[in-house]
Amino acid sequence: MNCKEFQECACEIVDKRLSDERTQELLRHANVCPHCRYELQALQTVKTVLHEKVHRKSVPAELYYTIVNRAMSESGTSWFQKLFGIKLNPAIAVVVLAAVLVGAYSLLFPVASIADESNIINQSLENYQAVIGGSIKPQLVSNHDEVRSFLQKEVNFSVNVPKMKNCKSCAGVLSIFKGVKLAHVVYEMEGNIIYIYQANLDDVMKGDKIGLPENVKVALEDNKWYIEETNNKTVVLWQYKNTLCAAVSKLKKDHLVALLTE
């Protein structure tokens, strides 16, 4: 841990976006480094003052992530290096990487047509790509249960955070696409990213804001899994309670399905 690394994450500590483990690691640096300790105190003071004096207005998720994205691409380091550190020991902490959201990504990389844009398979593939690119920060990195309850508070469908063997933590992000609330969960396992897009199944079946091709809907209505392999990526769609889940990964379909159903 050096001062630069600490300072890049200082805001995240104040905003409580990091896992306990990562927070402790950073605070240990602040304990021995007066300069960084001062910086952290200053940030905390600013946050408190803003909180007291300014009436906070929430901005649309799209806007927030557009800003985050720009800041990140200007700084040249990917957010996961900043948030998780680069000296990860994959054997001990299979830490998680990213999570992402459709809205912001679509703003930055406009897609061809509305139909393509609202197709959940396309959205999931784009988001997966954005996860790999490291363009968006997770809102919470923690264990399965905490990520689930964090996401669950904000959405009207059952959030599914599968417990995967050898994976202690994952990342969660919430977003809104054309007024539809979405939840995203991301895992990192042995260098592979597994991204899961989640939405209310009724919104998906209605199909006016987000939707799926007819053949996929038919498969889901029969309570079946829908699996598609495209460009070295596997897309798996399934129904979990009243939730549509769409997972994307480079893992082969058997491996991916096994992890999702473990």
Quick one: 81 or 230, whose CB is closer to Zn ion? 81
Q: Give me the phi and psi of 233, to 5 degrees please.
A: -120, 150
- Tell me the window of 31-39, 177-185, 195-203, 228-236 that interacts with Zn ion (CB under 5 A): 31-39
Least Cβ distance, residue 3 to Zn ion (angstroms): 3
Contacts (Cβ under 8 Å, ≥6 apart) of 123: 102, 106, 117, 177, 197, 210
Least Cβ distance, residue 115 to Zn ion (angstroms): 51
d(CA 47, CA 185): 28
Least Cβ distance, residue 47 to Zn ion (angstroms): 19
Quick one: 21 or 39, whose CB is closer to Zn ion? 39
Quick one: 36 or 251, whose CB is closer to Zn ion? 36
- Tell me the window of 34-42, 126-134, 202-210, 245-253 that interacts with Zn ion (CB under 5 A): 34-42
- Tell me the window of 36-44, 82-90, 126-134, 182-190 that interacts with Zn ion (CB under 5 A): 36-44
* C-alpha atoms less than 13 angstroms from C-alpha of 144 in its C-beta half-sphere: 11
Q: Does 3 bind Zn ion (CB under 5 A)?
A: yes
Least Cβ distance, residue 1 to Zn ion (angstroms): 8
The DSSP result for 136-180, as a single string, is S--SEEE-HHHHHHHHHTT-SS-------TT---EEEEEEEETTE
**Residues between 83 and 112 that touch Zn ion (CB under 5 A):** none
Least Cβ distance, residue 29 to Zn ion (angstroms): 6
DSSP state of 19: -
d(CA 255, CA 213): 25
Q: Does 33 bind Zn ion (CB under 5 A)?
A: yes
Quick one: 32 or 92, whose CB is closer to Zn ion? 32
Q: Does 36 bind Zn ion (CB under 5 A)?
A: yes
The H-or-E segment that residue 123 falls in is: helix 120-133
Least Cβ distance, residue 40 to Zn ion (angstroms): 10
3-class secondary structure, 198: strand
Least Cβ distance, residue 36 to Zn ion (angstroms): 3
Quick one: 36 or 196, whose CB is closer to Zn ion? 36
Q: How many chain residues touch Zn ion (CB under 5 A)?
A: 3
Q: Does 26 bind Zn ion (CB under 5 A)?
A: no
Contacts 24+ apart (CB under 8 A), 86-91: 90/190, 90/191
Contacts (Cβ under 8 Å, ≥6 apart) of 104: 61, 62, 64, 65, 66, 68, 69, 136, 175
Cα–Cα distances (Å) from 231 to 49, 108, 118, 247, 250, in that order, read 50, 22, 20, 15, 9
Quick one: 7 or 158, whose CB is closer to Zn ion? 7
Quick one: 33 or 43, whose CB is closer to Zn ion? 33
Q: What is the distance, to the nearest Å, from the Cα of residue 154 to the centroid of all Cα atoms in its chain?
A: 14
Binding site for Zn ion (CB under 5 A): 3, 33, 36
